Structure 1
């Protein structure tokens, strides 16, 4: 593993996610059952293929059950979960074939619709779940089952420092990670990295750029719109900063592709979309629904939602799907207004989607966008 990243001339240490810790602890515990030997270190591959050797803490084992912990290390992007022990308790079930994965003490439970995990399940995201299951299956074969419980003793207390409760995740932290590696991305270094990526794209002759606020936007762009991944820049939460950099560097056209829950904030003129800076998702929906003449009953229900996915179900049920076109047009107008008094002039188009419903709206017909951006 490359232990450091160089961003804007600074040497920053990488870390690994809670999902990687949970996977490593599971592998360590299962190894102890299979080998009947104490494990002090464990080697695993992350979801992105990076091989890590991590220290095992508090290992215990018996003939069919074991427990092990791996300490979360966020590198130079340390957050509230940095330093937490992530435990895995594994039971072998020789008379079964299923592998079950659940959360114990300190791992949150999903209580609201709209997240990647169904209501009632432990907040262990899809990628960590897949990595745990794949490793267990590889180790025990097809003719045996196992029960894996992930726990974080200090998770409930730590969760108070996160936004989990606002997302309907109660009782602990989430087990997260899409790549397994935490790249050091303080805001300034992250912005600098985005500028480098934009500059490189411009210098290769591109004058149009797709901006996505995250992996979901990138996936929608490539899989649904069919646009080459090499034209996409991940702008994260720095919408206003990146738009201004796009204009400064000299791009002429922007296509913003993002999940409703992120880009709806831009419709209200919020250009730093991290929840620590601003939210106003439901307020923006409520205000625009009210302008459409929506009944008070719908407005109150949307205002009580914790996610735009949950709000979207209500909006569809009441027949107000037209709000998405209004919001897409407002995002375009707000973004172009931000750049109005500088040169060159930048044209912005927008595509909105949701996790469950898929495509919602765009500032041009989707077929036109696909054709223009091929």
Structure 2
């Protein structure tokens, strides 16, 4: 039987534990190991490295523990400074210290201009303060810092989402369970909300950095781009629920040819029908048996493109694949959204696109013409 994966605690839980450690320290009580009740009722014991005096008030340091989740913040220090504000009543004011981002685009769960400290961590901290003080109106200033966050944020979607300057303090409950597929998929959805809040009714779905980089080179609006990773079907559904009108699928043929085959979770260990799909449409376009065999023997889709070129079928087949991908995506969404598809090579060469993609491109001032 496989070993059970270990859970950890979120950056939000680290910050809440830091607040509790500071308040315990002020009361002359033990603070080295803080017991925290997560928002889902889970009991956590979180060790605290230190509590020290700073210019921002008493500050606690907690080392993030991610369990068996592959979290980039595992092992980093989360610093939480607490300062009492004047007055008998008030509220907790949250501030971003070093390495914590600030929200610059609407559409997220935190307002523009606010430190990117999500509602879950804020509620967890309020819960801690109420537990120790017996009141919910204790006026405090809480400053959260993750110095390593400036560099780590470059490995996240924060720059795309409009969170600048560092990481987000996240966590729905405070408990960090090993990242499920569902959790990762849900982490991609806020991109849609940000694009919609920026005024885009039509979006550009790029499976990854290759498609995004090429789309930017073609002057398509970055604010309308959404990275889907392998979860194209899930993201299509999420967009439809948010009343997106049109979607352009833009990316490397090796990824989007799978959509043409009706595959909407495109991880290569789950589904890999690339060469078979290209071969089927090449055969339908008149390719000889020998040519089809060469396609099926190709190592990559780039190799297969060379075969299509040799038989003078690349333009015909790639355009047909683009049309088929759009048709399959629209059918997947029960015709709720119009979809256009653009297929490109690794070098950014246009391989094929359908009429809807061309129409959407023109609406964005796209200068590239469909030569397929």
5+ residue gaps, structure 1, are 1-5, 195-211, 218-257, 288-299, 309-322, 352-360, 365-374
Deviation at 1:66, TM superposition (A): 2.1
Task: Identify the match of residue 119 of structure 1 among 73, 93, 112.
Answer: 112
Question: How far apart are the structure 2 equivalents of 1:130 and 1:278?
Answer: 38
2:296 is equivalent to residue 324 of structure 1 = no
Aligned: 1:53 with 2:36: no
Match of 1:148 in 2: 142
1:362 and 2:355 matched: no
| Shift in alpha-carbon separation, 1:10–1:259, aligned structure 2, 3 A | farther
Q: What displacement does 1:53 show?
A: 0.6
- Aligned positions of 1:45-124 closer than 5 A: 45-60=37-52, 65-93=57-85, 95-98=87-90, 99-124=92-117
Aligned residues: 246
Match of 1:214 among 164, 171, 186: 186
1:44 corresponds to: 36
CA distances 1:39-80 after superposition (whole Å, capped 9, x unpaired)? 111011122221101101121369x94211211111222322
- SS of the residue 1:112 aligns to: coil
| 1:168/1:306 contact within 8 Å kept | no
Instruction: Output aligned runs, 1:155-174, within 5 Å.
Output: 155-174=149-168
In 2: Cα distance, 1:87 partner to 1:269 partner: 37
Per the TM alignment, residue 103 of structure 1 is displaced from its structure 2 partner at its CA by 1.3
Q: CA deviation at 1:335?
A: 5.5
| CA-CA distance at 1:26 after TM superposition | 1.2
Residue 303 (str. 1) matches residue 221 (str. 2): yes
TM-superposed CA distance for 1:180, in Å, is: 1.9
User: Compared with structure 1, are the counterparts of its residues 279 and 46 closer, same or farther at alpha carbon in structure 2 (3 Å cutoff)?
Assistant: farther
Structure 2 runs not aligned, ≥5 long: 227-242, 251-257, 265-272, 277-327, 339-372
Deviation of residue 175 (structure 1)?
0.6
In 2, the alpha carbon distance for the partners of 1:22 and 1:138 equals 15
Aligned pair 1:338/2:262, yes or no? yes
Task: Give the match for residue 333 of structure 2.
Answer: 350
Q: TM-score, normalised by structure 2?
A: 0.53
Deviation at 1:166, TM superposition (A): 2.9
How far did 1:348 drift?
5.8
Q: CA deviation at 1:133?
A: 2.0
Residue pair 1:108, 1:174 contacting (<8 A) in 2 also: yes
**Residues 108 and 194 of structure 2 are in contact (CA less than 8 Å); yes or no, is this contact kept in structure 1?**
no
CA contact (8 A) 2:205 2:247 kept: no
Q: Does the 8 Å contact 1:261/1:307 carry over to 2?
A: yes
Which structure: larger Rg? 2
Distance 1:103 1:306, change over 3 A: farther
CA contact (8 A) 2:204 2:224 kept: no
Q: 1:22/1:336 Cα in 2 relative to 1: closer, same or farther (>3 Å)?
A: same
Select the structure that is richer in strand. Answer: 1
Secondary structure at 1:107 match in 2: coil
1:294 match: none
What TM-score, normalized to structure 1?
0.53
Distance across 1 between alignment mates of 2:178 and 2:115: 27
Preserved contact between residue 205 and residue 249 of structure 2 (Cα < 8 Å) = no
Question: What is the alpha-carbon distance in structure 1 between the residues aligned to residue 67 and residue 210 of structure 2?
Answer: 26
The alignment partner of 1:77 has SS state of coil
Q: Do the aligned partners of 2:117 and 2:169 also contact (CA within 8 Å) in 1?
A: yes
Asked if 2 retains the 8 angstrom alpha-carbon contact of 1:23 and 1:132, the reply is yes
Q: Write out per-residue CA displacement over residues 297-318 of structure 1, whole angstroms, 9 at most, x where no aligned residue.
A: xxx7x7142777xxxxxxxxxx
In 2, the alpha carbon distance for the partners of 1:114 and 1:128 equals 19
| Structure 1 residue 281: Cα displacement | 11
- Shift of the 282–183 alpha-carbon distance from structure 1 to 2, 3 Å rule, reads farther
Q: Distance in 1 between matches of 2:262 and 2:156?
A: 31
Equivalent in the alignment of 1:241: none
CA distance, structure 2, for counterparts of residue 269 and residue 114 of structure 1: 18
Structure 1 contact 68–87 (Cα < 8 Å) conserved: yes
